[in-house]
Amino acid sequence: MPVFVVQKHHATTLHYDFRLEKDGVLKSWAVPKGIAPEKGVKRLAVEMEDHDLEYAGFEGDIPEGQYGAGRVEIWDSGTYEEEAWTPGKIVFALHGTKLSGRFCLIRFAKAGEKTWLIFAL
């Protein structure tokens, strides 16, 4: 089963990096306020570049001067089941310690091509 990870990232601003394993990489989104476990609470998610699978276990400090400089902590991780994955909508079930259940990422095209909303179903 593919993995997911939520990394709490103390960079320029505190945010959470949400990552889903897909096609041999971690598809990634920056979620400024974190993912709400409550149904229907929509949060902004900005699509980022893919990361190597090994990054799913990364915790530590990214040195000043490097992209993403700051402290990274694993906030939650586990496996997930993909229900649907289209260019504008991803539906999945997370099996983590803090996040468990069905979630959706939906493209919010009016706000930009890399802008999504994430919420529990």
Interval 15-56: pLDDT, tens = 999 999 999 999 999 999 999 999 989 999 999 999 999 989
User: Pick the residue with more confidence: 71 or 47?
Assistant: 47
Cβ neighbours around 49 below 10 Å, total? 9
Q: Could you tell me if 21 and 53 are in contact, meaning their C-beta atoms sit under 8 angstroms apart?
A: yes
pTM of the predicted structure, to 2 decimals: 0.92
Distance from C-alpha of 30 to C-alpha of 7, rounded to nearest angstrom: 9
pLDDT at 76: 97
pLDDT at 62: 79
Residue 102 has pLDDT above 80, yes or no: yes
Residue 69 has pLDDT above 90, yes or no: no
pLDDT at 23: 96
User: Pick the residue with more confidence: 27 or 69?
Assistant: 27
pLDDT at 104: 98
Alpha helices in 1-121 (DSSP H): none
Mean pLDDT of the chain: 92
Residue 101 has pLDDT above 80, yes or no: yes
Going from N- to C-terminal start, the domains of the chain cover 3-120
